[in-house]
Amino acid sequence: MDRDDIKLEQPLAAGHDPHPGHRRHAPPLYGVMAEFENPTDLVAAARKVYSLGYRRINGYSPYPIEELSEAIGFTHTSLPLIVFIGGVVGGLAGFFMQYWIEVIDYPLNVGGKPYNSWPAFIPITFEMTVLFAAFSAVLGMLVLNKLPQPYHPVFNVPNFAMATRDRFFLAIEANDAKFKHEEVVELLKSLNAIEVNDVEV
- Where are any strands of DSSP class E within the chain? 29-36, 57-60, 168-173, 195-200
**Which pLDDT score is estimated for 83?**
98
* CB contact set of 148 (below 8 Å; sequence gap of 6+): 142
Amino acid identity, residue 45? Answer: A
Per CATH, the number for 28-77+150-200 is 3.30.70
Give the DSSP per-residue string, 4-31: GG--PPPPPPTT--S-GGG---PPPEEE
**Which pLDDT score is estimated for 112?**
87
- Per-10-residue mean pLDDT for the chain, 201 residues long? 43 45 67 96 97 96 94 92 98 97 93 91 97 98 92 93 95 96 96 95 91
**Which pLDDT score is estimated for 5?**
46
Task: Return the CA Rg of the chain.
Answer: 30
Distance in angstroms (rounded) separating the CA atoms of residues 99 and 105 = 9
What residue segments make up the domains of the chain, in order of their start? 28-77+150-200, 79-144
**Which pLDDT score is estimated for 16?**
47
